[in-house]
Chains A and B, each alone.
Chain A
């Protein structure tokens, strides 16, 4: 077997032992465009994410040491990181930068918030995030609901939101995040949250296909409560569990990829405030293996 093949095998084995995987794409701002063959006009953030995940894994595999004195011991938490794509943030320059994070969570566990914030802070080696927007797990919008038709807004269950929001508030209390917000909330949901919350949402990020047709009541309300209405261009689901599982098969040849479930994806963007230039951008993904349910679909045969 070639060195490459050896590394791939080590990667596969390490992955098979892991119950948690954390992938950091590194800074994709320039790299992403360098894939000349891959620059499509209509590339979505999903395409961008998948590409950068593939690259992170390739970079990780390429960096695996085959030195018999140094073979890595499989861990239950597998950390995959694109080593070449570092864009360190100079602490002296921190004030001139704006670090914004959009957090896509896959379930309603409040602890995901703290986990994600800690991961970003650790990976980027900073003290705090300037803004954190949470994109809650979507329930497909009811097509019968005329009110939601405009905004493609998820049906928001406030009782589920509240515990998560409390976590977000604690990240502000602890000084790790300056501004907290939500995504794709319609006026009613935003109002409900606003009324109840101790620390008010200061951002609502909505899909830009509607940016010229935002309902006036939402604009009005946002203006009154000083909520920034920002835009995003993400699909309703940035990466399905199925796509991620397919990725684990393709990229690492994982035996049991169907057991993987993404827990969260954090996209960070670092902007140079007064020059309008993007310093860096990247994704952090965390996934967990579903606890064994006895339902083992064998994708791999030893013999």
Chain B
């Protein structure tokens, strides 16, 4: 999460409310001031980078338990020492994250557009772990685990914090997640409580429980707190605060495009890819000590920051609030950005009319204006008393405030003022994998996919409502093997005149300016997309879909790559390919399998201390290479080298 410099006191929701319109208005002005400058930017080169979030896990070997170590925030401060001293050429940069057991690391410098850079990613990630290890106690380990299986269970933190009721946690009022696990930078606790206060009640996350042979049916938990009892749904795992979502780890990446048009293109083209990658990277089937019926964290986080009031959620008629809002402020994107994608924006999108008017009057195109105006339906949730009146020409805090608290599957990022950074696109869906090899593989795969999209001028666009349907499917238990996903059939289009297509594939004469229909097509227009399996989308299927990996391999044959980088990339593609066929399990399926075959698991969906301990010990051993796990991946040849 972005950290803003702060000045003055953090404000409570009731004190932010009177400033909401002001902040929104000035946020737009700040965006527009910046935008004018940015349109004249010279061409930027490709730069990209990954962000990996980690947890500090404490192993209590004597008692066979695992806990989350709350020293993460302190460790992060020590890791940032070099940055504070303004040292150059750092291997990695560190950021605090929502929870005090988390740290986030990125490469010290963004990667550039050269093929050789692909061979550095994994080595850099390994160096990050080494760096953190210096600060860990002997029983602590750093793990890139998407969800801690016993998050919110009794004494899951080290040090322990006993929770007797909501009053034990004034910030979140959670029955499970201690306030002491929330990072102390005021932004985080204030966000937490302001979400709750704006909403008018605690957030309520309900995740379907996995029904095993001895799981009680219906599965109902009774809590001390009446609010919890009312909010918890039967047959669901109930969670009640921001920590359950934002206390999860994920794998994100950011690309710098050469200009705004390319940024919009990448943003649009990667949107249909999001659900596919979510399903492929699935790594989180266990919540609050229970096996759930989902494999990914997505809806948990969506629920954890859902600040919509009952009116906005459609549970009460509109009175105080202006409009109903379909989604939480954390969810998938609602519209495409580039000109020719307009026909695919088939979701009705809520708009802040004032914002839109300002943007259109300033000359912004309809699609980008809609995009920003949609983000502007959300209120600012954190504000500092001395950071209300700003210099709109040179500061963008109000813009960033709302931009950064719209947490979506993709983020479109304008260049910050006064820097050499260009237009960027952030890819945010992927789950954190256990090992650096896997994390690097997923990161490199996406970067290669963007190069392939741009080289071959591919087009993945389809109705955005289909992308949302895919997002729902992607979260299901074993989605990667069981679900089918809408995907565009004909991705090889544009870039050459249609006359050429006809010349190549048939002998029909085509009329100038009009697309001749391919021979054999029926009178009605064929459907633009079809439901396909992940295997088909990733590996291709004759006469159905070319496949991401065959396209990437074709691209690789056309560029110059040095042997070691080629070897590494080959290993990465093999991993993705085999995850797609099911030959290798996703982390989520592997964890389920591990739990369900454990002697201390009693077929009741409960993941107790003993099972959780053994699971995480194994995860740690796999990460360190001490134990080989052929179900997750084979024995990759490591060629990744760090170049200083």
| CB <8 Å contact, B563 and A211 | yes
- Is B129 engaged at the interface, CB distance under 8 Å to the other chain? no
- Chain A interface mostly: mixed
Interface segment out of the listed A106-114, A266-274, A284-292: A266-274
- Given A84-B500, A212-B639, A274-B114, the answer on whether A37 and B505 have CB atoms closer than 8 Å is yes
| CB <8 Å contact, B455 and A29 | yes
- Name which residue of chain A comes closest to B559, CB basis: A271
- Is B571 engaged at the interface, CB distance under 8 Å to the other chain? yes
Interface segment out of the listed A119-127, A170-178, A226-234, A255-263: A226-234
- Is A33 engaged at the interface, CB distance under 8 Å to the other chain? yes
Q: Give the complex CA separation of A226 and B505 in angstroms.
A: 46
| CB <8 Å contact, A33 and B492 | yes
- Is A277 engaged at the interface, CB distance under 8 Å to the other chain? yes
Tell me, rounded to whole Å, the shortest Cβ–Cβ distance linking B508 to chain A: 13
Cβ contacts under 8 Å, A211 to chain B:
563-564, 566-567, 570
Q: Give the complex CA separation of A208 and B546 in angstroms.
A: 22
- Is B197 engaged at the interface, CB distance under 8 Å to the other chain? no
Cβ contacts under 8 Å, B540 to chain A:
41
| CB <8 Å contact, B559 and A276 | yes
Tell me, rounded to whole Å, the shortest Cβ–Cβ distance linking B561 to chain A: 6
Question: For this complex, into which size category does the number of interface residues on chain A fall?
Answer: 35 or more
- A196-217 toward B: CB 8 Å interface, digit per residue (1/0)? 0000000000101001101000
Most buried by A among B495, B504, B540, B550: B504
Most buried by B among A40, A100, A211, A276: A276
Please report which residues of chain B, range 556-576, place their CB below 8 angstroms from some CB of chain A when the two chains form the complex.
557-564, 566-567, 570-571
- Is B490 engaged at the interface, CB distance under 8 Å to the other chain? yes
| CB <8 Å contact, A31 and B496 | yes
Contact of B571 among A33, A212, A281 (CB under 8 A): A212
- Name which residue of chain A comes closest to B550, CB basis: A41
Contact of B567 among A59, A212, A228 (CB under 8 A): A212
Compute the total of residue contacts between A and B using a CB distance below 8 Å: 117
| CB <8 Å contact, B566 and A208 | yes
- Name which residue of chain B comes closest to A35, CB basis: B504
Cβ contacts under 8 Å, B505 to chain A:
34-37
| CB <8 Å contact, B559 and A278 | yes
- Is A275 engaged at the interface, CB distance under 8 Å to the other chain? yes
- Is A43 engaged at the interface, CB distance under 8 Å to the other chain? yes
- Is B539 engaged at the interface, CB distance under 8 Å to the other chain? yes
Cβ contacts under 8 Å, A276 to chain B:
46, 113-115, 451, 559
| CB <8 Å contact, A62 and B503 | yes
- Is B456 engaged at the interface, CB distance under 8 Å to the other chain? yes
- Is B542 engaged at the interface, CB distance under 8 Å to the other chain? yes
- Is A30 engaged at the interface, CB distance under 8 Å to the other chain? yes
Contact of A271 among B542, B560, B571 (CB under 8 A): B560
- Is B457 engaged at the interface, CB distance under 8 Å to the other chain? yes
Cβ contacts under 8 Å, B414 to chain A:
none
- Is B501 engaged at the interface, CB distance under 8 Å to the other chain? yes
| CB <8 Å contact, B504 and A31 | yes
| CB <8 Å contact, B561 and A230 | yes
- Name which residue of chain A comes closest to B48, CB basis: A276
- Is A39 engaged at the interface, CB distance under 8 Å to the other chain? yes
| CB <8 Å contact, B558 and A275 | no
- Is A45 engaged at the interface, CB distance under 8 Å to the other chain? yes
- Given A30-B495, A34-B500, A40-B542, the answer on whether A231 and B456 have CB atoms closer than 8 Å is no
Cβ contacts under 8 Å, B551 to chain A:
33
Cβ contacts under 8 Å, B503 to chain A:
55, 58-59, 62, 84
| CB <8 Å contact, A278 and B571 | no
| CB <8 Å contact, B504 and A231 | no
- Name which residue of chain B comes closest to A279, CB basis: B455
- Name which residue of chain B comes closest to A133, CB basis: B560
Q: Give the complex CA separation of A100 and B557 in angstroms.
A: 13
- Given A31-B504, A34-B496, A276-B113, the answer on whether A229 and B562 have CB atoms closer than 8 Å is yes
| CB <8 Å contact, B492 and A231 | no
- Name which residue of chain B comes closest to A130, CB basis: B560
Q: Give the complex CA separation of A228 and B503 in angstroms.
A: 40
Q: Give the complex CA separation of A42 and B115 in angstroms.
A: 23
| CB <8 Å contact, B563 and A229 | yes
| CB <8 Å contact, A231 and B566 | yes
Cβ contacts under 8 Å, B454 to chain A:
275, 277
Tell me, rounded to whole Å, the shortest Cβ–Cβ distance linking A132 to chain B: 12
- Given A33-B456, A230-B562, the answer on whether A39 and B492 have CB atoms closer than 8 Å is yes
Q: Give the complex CA separation of A267 and B130 in angstroms.
A: 44
| CB <8 Å contact, B456 and A30 | yes
Q: Give the complex CA separation of A228 and B501 in angstroms.
A: 38
| CB <8 Å contact, B492 and A278 | no
- Is B637 engaged at the interface, CB distance under 8 Å to the other chain? yes
| CB <8 Å contact, B501 and A34 | yes
| CB <8 Å contact, B113 and A275 | yes
- Given A34-B492, A212-B570, A230-B563, the answer on whether A269 and B546 have CB atoms closer than 8 Å is no
Tell me, rounded to whole Å, the shortest Cβ–Cβ distance linking A58 to chain B: 7
Q: Give the complex CA separation of A84 and B497 in angstroms.
A: 9
Q: Give the complex CA separation of A100 and B559 in angstroms.
A: 9
Cβ contacts under 8 Å, B561 to chain A:
230-231
Q: Give the complex CA separation of A278 and B457 in angstroms.
A: 11
Q: Give the complex CA separation of A231 and B559 in angstroms.
A: 9
Most buried by A among B46, B112, B456, B557: B557
Cβ contacts under 8 Å, A41 to chain B:
539-540, 542, 546-547, 550
- Is B162 engaged at the interface, CB distance under 8 Å to the other chain? no
- Is B45 engaged at the interface, CB distance under 8 Å to the other chain? yes
Q: Give the complex CA separation of A227 and B543 in angstroms.
A: 42
- Is B258 engaged at the interface, CB distance under 8 Å to the other chain? yes
- Is B593 engaged at the interface, CB distance under 8 Å to the other chain? no
- Is B555 engaged at the interface, CB distance under 8 Å to the other chain? yes
Tell me, rounded to whole Å, the shortest Cβ–Cβ distance linking A130 to chain B: 10
| CB <8 Å contact, B563 and A33 | no
- Name which residue of chain B comes closest to A267, CB basis: B558
Cβ contacts under 8 Å, B45 to chain A:
274-275
- A14-39 toward B: CB 8 Å interface, digit per residue (1/0)? 00000000000000011101111101
Please report which residues of chain A, range 78-94, place their CB below 8 angstroms from some CB of chain B when the two chains form the complex.
84
B residues neighboring A (CB under 8 Å): 45-46, 112-115, 258, 451, 454-457, 490, 492, 495-497, 500-501, 503-505, 539-540, 542-543, 546-547, 550-551, 554-555, 557-564, 566-567, 570-571, 637, 639
Cross-chain pairs A/B with CB under 8 angstroms, 12 sampled = A30-B457, A30-B495, A35-B505, A98-B560, A211-B563, A212-B571, A229-B562, A230-B563, A269-B558, A271-B560, A275-B46, A275-B451
The 7 A-B residue pairs with the shortest CB-CB distance in the complex, in nearest-first order: A274-B45, A212-B567, A41-B550, A276-B113, A231-B566, A275-B46, A211-B567
- 6 new A-B contacts, CB < 8 A, other than A271-B559, A276-B46, are A30-B457, A31-B504, A45-B557, A230-B561, A275-B258, A276-B115
